[in-house]
């Protein structure tokens, strides 16, 4: 598994006897679309619901999770304000790496 943002390999969470080390965070998201579910009862309005059409797992390593802008984008996706998936291009470099040095 690789971090969605920087592409580095992430490890499974390591557990010790009394504590543990988290290497990445997983956000289960995806493309969604509004769909109507026709109510079987006559005269009842159809039910509207958000259908997950293409599930996507966003993996964020602990380093990338430390960036406020990435946390904000994950939070936006989770709360439905803005989709994360549409903005992650294949092989694209995260902006925070390009702005260094």
The footprint of Zn ion (CB under 5 A) covers 3, 5-6, 61, 64
Q: Which is nearer to Zn ion, 3 or 74 (CB)?
A: 3
CB of 26 to Zn ion, least distance (A): 13
CB of 61 to Zn ion, least distance (A): 3
Q: Which is nearer to Zn ion, 27 or 32 (CB)?
A: 27
Task: Please state, in angstroms and as integers, the Cα–Cα distance from residue 80 to each residue in 58, 63, 72, following that order.
Answer: 15, 24, 12
Distance CA 91, CA 97 (A): 13
CB 37 within 8 Å of CB 49? yes
Distance CA 78, CA 90 (A): 21
Q: Which is nearer to Zn ion, 32 or 63 (CB)?
A: 63
CB of 67 to Zn ion, least distance (A): 9
Q: Which residues pair with 36 in a beta bridge?
A: 48
């Amino acid at each position: 598994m690789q971090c969605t943002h920087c592409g580095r390999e992430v490890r499974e969470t390591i557990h010790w006897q009394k504590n543990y080390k988290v290497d990445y965070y997983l956000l289960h998201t995806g493309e969604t679309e509004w769909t109507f579910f026709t109510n079987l009862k006559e005269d009842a309005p159809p039910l509207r619901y958000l259908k997950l059409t293409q599930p996507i797992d966003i993996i964020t390593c602990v380093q990338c999770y430390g960036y406020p802008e990435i946390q904000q984008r994950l939070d936006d996706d989770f709360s439905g304000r803005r989709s994360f998936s549409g903005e992650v291009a294949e092989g694209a470099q995260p902006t925070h790496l390009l702005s260094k040095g």
